[in-house]
Structure 1
Amino acid sequence: MKYISYTLCTFLCWMIVGCEDILEKEPLALISTTNAYITEADATRAVTAAYHPLMANNWCCGAWGNSGFMHWVLGNVASDDTEKGGESGSDQLYAQQVSLFNIPSDNDATRFAWSSQYIGIRRANLVLDNVPDIEMDADLKARYLAEAKFLRAWYYSNLVKTFGDVPLVLTTELEAYDLTRAPKQEVYNQIIQDLQEAMAVLPAEYDDAERGRATRGAAQAYLGKVYLYLNDFPMAEEMFGQVINSGTYSLDPDYYGMFLREGENSPEHIFQVQFHNDQGAQPANNQLNTVFASRARNGWGFNLPTQDFVDAFEEGDPRLNHTVYKTGDVMPDGLIANVGNSTTGYLNKKYYVPEYERVGGALQPGRDDIYMRLGKVMLWYAEAANENGNTQEALDALNQIRERAREGNPDVLPDITETDQDALRELIWHEQRVEFGQEFERFYELVRQGRAGEVMRGYAEKYNTAKGSGYTDGVNEIFPIPQAEINLSGGVLSQNQGY
């Protein structure tokens, strides 16, 4: 036994020492930063990779798909516009917790929101750190760097409005958990700088081969939105006005059509996440088409429009039937709708997939997510103009939206003539709710307007429901920092108040 033990020990020592050179070799398949940024093609791949986390923004969790920002939960379900849906309250519990404002620090929606955006930020930083040293066409290099700045600003915009103060990571030498949380104004200052620098370089348009990349108009529109969130109404009006007056965009006369596949790249679209329309080996499909679809039609039945949202539409407003559908409705493909077990009786029509769009019968075609469009810009412009005392400009923009919405029917949606600033503000807020309903803005808009608590507790009382009843002013305007990130930082990251 001693001989065997000695022999075994000798063998193991030989293996440890003798194999050291083999074991410590760099993995052959690993691309390091020293050899990944050499050619123009490398720069192209790096910028494309920085866009990829945008695609993960529509679903969660784990094996069910890309873990992403969860706009539908944080922007919709947290508001009075939608109920969670699904089979039961425990189906995707993270969404139920958000709906009830009983949100633990290990909530999946906030955890993936944090991680996905910092993945995007790191990839943008990789471009900004490494592409300047690549020998390539100077104009293309400048554009790629501008795209990376736009994307970093986009990801940080999501983070700061969701979590408040967040680590400001501007280099690949650091990770979010290495830093303390920067004050949100400092984060906003960086977002503004990135968007301003991007705006100065980005083109107004691209050819079809590169459509979907950030444009000058996208940078202007998001810069206007940042100023709006900071209550800097003069700058918001100016930036939104530049988009409107650029001549690059126009209101699509077919309101519903611009949400269908054939309406992609509508003249109204300013920035959207583009998906492939195939079912190949590596399909890039929009999972929300399945997430929001009826359980009676092989969907998952989440994100159910509420009766309160439906009742917000004025009588005869065509946008209602373009935004929600109920059992018995005739759908664009001629099928009769069945909303299955929807507890509200409604589903989101903007993500309905007609039969003629389905590839191989799947509910997940390459339908784009439209995040910025002219209709939003014009109503945010109207709000800013009203706050600045430019009443006629506000009314003009507001009424252009209503004119498009009425679809030629003079008996609905009459022009607004209100000139009192407070009354007009309420009318503009109402128009925003119905014009871009179910487009993931509502909760953040309520917070920005300073009325989230009032609206959500009022909803709970009106409908005798737990949804919204737990909203606490001074706490629930933002969401908890993921506990996993606090643990990873060794306590350097602090938790938001009330969580």
Structure 2
Amino acid sequence: MKKTLISALALGLLLAAAGCKKSFLDLQPQATTSADSFFKNQDQVQQAVDGAYAPVRTLGNVDYWVFGELRSDNTTFQYNDSNRGQESQREFVDEFLVSANSESVQEMWQVSYNGISRCNDVLGKIDAVTMPADKKNQFLGEVKFLRALYYFTLVRQFGGVPLRLESVASPTAAKSQGRAPAADVYASIIADLTDAAAKLPTKAAYAAADAGRATKGAANTLLASVYLTQKDYAKAVALLRDVRTGGYSLLPSYRSVFDPANKNNAESIFEIQYLGTQPNISSSFTFIFAPYTSGNIITGDATAPNLGIGSGWNIPTQDMIDAYEAGDLRKTASLALGFTDATGKFVAVPYITKYNFGLAAPGRTDTNFPMLRYADALLMYAEALNEQGFAAGGEAAAALNEVRKRAGLPAKVTTSQTDFRVAVLQERRVELAFENQRWYDLVRTGRAVDVMNAHGTRQKALQTFLPASAYQVTANKLLLPIPQREVMLDNLAQNPL
């Protein structure tokens, strides 16, 4: 019987849990299985492929929103003057004061390369395993998609990074060849996604038990995002035309897109899979994004009446709140302006509601996190078409207005290519709010320095606790510092600070 992807991931967490009866002085570890002895049949390969998804879930819990959303003008943090333990971590990311010694930076680097290593292990061993060709192609496509996803995050955050494309079999082979140029990293990403798209099944071709796995449509959509980042608009348009005919569609209700009852729905192209009934693979965005002063009023968790340092993150900024047009149905589906406390007093600390759908168990929620969805593809398509040439009321406008119509808004009329650029970036901001896209949109469109400095001026007026050095954004600060540990151990060149 086939296991679902999420169940297989849970099983993977147990693979290293076996006991060890021999002396702890034995050099051969007994609690784990080596790659050489493990890859013997199709089931073992599938377990390894499932394990390559697990770091995506880890990154989705914190790192993706810290560096894709909190770092932008969409969100900030609720200042907690009673506990300053996180100040040097997430707060400094928000304030553009993050250093090479940041644990947050180190964690994203390390978890991403853990995922890459798992992909490389599969790619290095799968050819020797006998299995049907279509299943082997599926597994190859999945890990190439995942490896590209990990590298796409790394190259956009750090620039050139070590390009590891083979399994590391010994400590002596762990040292890299140094930071590859960003162009080489992008070339590897494009090669992986092109091959993945050729090998992966369509979403409709998967059995229900395999919902959530990478698909042909996911590979093409991610590749289109890569081309959009590189300003290769013709290739992005061609791929997105294929995605538009791939059976995806907008759901009638915006909020229902994120409802756990609708996981992997018709609008979903790729989403991070969480399972609320299991502590190690559940999500907790309701708790993380709730104001830490809200007790259990927002979370609804009677077993946890108080919140602490783990809450009060990704708080919508006033800039974000003001970005919505009057009548936009996405606003109330995505955020609240505050909460009413136990005394009946309204507390004006905004928070994200997009992922609030109740509890699956105390302390755990069942909400998946969207990474690629059809509305994103439509807006990328509109943007890429416009960059090829403005056409008033043309195909680009139709794609843009398809998204606006679902939000309850009238069609957007633009009169120039420049006006359309502004319109589509604005639409991406509100449609994809709190989905970790905003930072990357600002950087690739060349707006990050100006937007974030202006945003910083407004934040300093609102948040008087911010240091004077906060939000001094320059082109150098668009890339994160390479973790100091990696600089020292792998002799990597540091980014200009």
Q: TM-score by structure 2 length?
A: 0.85
- How many residue pairs get matched? 448
Q: Over the residues paired in the alignment, what is the CA RMSD in angstroms?
A: 2.4
Q: Distance in 1 between matches of 2:345 and 2:165?
A: 49
214-223 or 312-321: bigger deviation: 312-321
Say whether residues 1:488 and 2:489 are aligned partners: yes
Structure 1: tracts of 5 or more residues without a match: 1-19, 61-69, 330-334, 407-412
Say whether residues 1:92 and 2:86 are aligned partners: yes
Given the superposition, is the C-alpha separation of residues 25 and 375 from structure 1 closer, same or farther in structure 2, using an over 3 Å criterion?
closer
Give the structure 1 partner of residue 418 of structure 2: 422
Given the superposition, is the C-alpha separation of residues 183 and 338 from structure 1 closer, same or farther in structure 2, using an over 3 Å criterion?
farther
Shift of 1:90: 2.7
Q: 2:140 aligns with which of 139, 145, 163?
A: 145
Shift of 1:131: 1.1
- Determine helix, strand or coil for the equivalent of 1:302: coil
Q: Distance in 2 between matches of 1:25 and 1:73?
A: 39
- Determine helix, strand or coil for the equivalent of 1:170: coil
Aligned 1:283-302 pairs, distance under 5 A:
283-295=280-292, 296=294, 297=296, 298-299=306-307, 300-302=311-313
Given the superposition, is the C-alpha separation of residues 32 and 450 from structure 1 closer, same or farther in structure 2, using an over 3 Å criterion?
same
Aligned 1:15-414 pairs, distance under 5 A:
23-24=25-26, 26-59=28-61, 70-85=63-78, 87-88=80-81, 90-93=84-87, 94-173=89-168, 177-205=175-203, 206-246=206-246, 248-279=247-278, 283-295=280-292, 296=294, 297=296, 298-299=306-307, 300-327=311-338, 345-354=349-358, 358-360=359-361, 362-389=362-389, 391=391, 392-406=394-408, 413-414=409-410
Task: Supply the AA of the counterpart residue of 2:422.
Answer: E
Given the superposition, is the C-alpha separation of residues 457 and 29 from structure 1 closer, same or farther in structure 2, using an over 3 Å criterion?
closer
Task: Supply the AA of the counterpart residue of 1:293.
Answer: A
CA contact (8 A) 1:327 1:338 kept: no
Report percent identity of matched pairs. Answer: 34
Shift of 1:265: 1.6
Task: Supply the AA of the counterpart residue of 1:269.
Answer: S
Q: Distance in 2 between matches of 1:288 and 1:394?
A: 34
CA contact (8 A) 2:42 2:130 kept: yes
Report the structure number with the largest CA radius of gyration.
Answer: 1
CA contact (8 A) 2:151 2:185 kept: yes
CA contact (8 A) 2:161 2:180 kept: yes
Shift of 1:108: 1.7
Q: Distance in 1 between matches of 2:165 and 2:94?
A: 33
Given the superposition, is the C-alpha separation of residues 192 and 25 from structure 1 closer, same or farther in structure 2, using an over 3 Å criterion?
closer
Given the superposition, is the C-alpha separation of residues 338 and 178 from structure 1 closer, same or farther in structure 2, using an over 3 Å criterion?
farther
Shift of 1:320: 0.7
Given the superposition, is the C-alpha separation of residues 161 and 21 from structure 1 closer, same or farther in structure 2, using an over 3 Å criterion?
closer
Shift of 1:328: 5.0
Map Cα deviations across residues 263-285 of structure 1 (whole Å, 9 max, x no partner): 21220000011111314xx5410
Shift of 1:494: 0.8
Map Cα deviations across residues 350-395 of structure 1 (whole Å, 9 max, x no partner): 12233xxx234x2422211111100111111111110011531110
Map Cα deviations across residues 239-279 of structure 1 (whole Å, 9 max, x no partner): 12211122x20001110011121121220000011111314
Q: Distance in 1 between matches of 2:382 and 2:484?
A: 40
110-119 or 237-246: bigger deviation: 237-246
Task: Supply the AA of the counterpart residue of 2:460.
Answer: N
CA contact (8 A) 1:50 1:123 kept: yes
CA contact (8 A) 1:147 1:198 kept: yes
Map Cα deviations across residues 284-315 of structure 1 (whole Å, 9 max, x no partner): 10132321124322451211001110101111
Given the superposition, is the C-alpha separation of residues 348 and 184 from structure 1 closer, same or farther in structure 2, using an over 3 Å criterion?
same
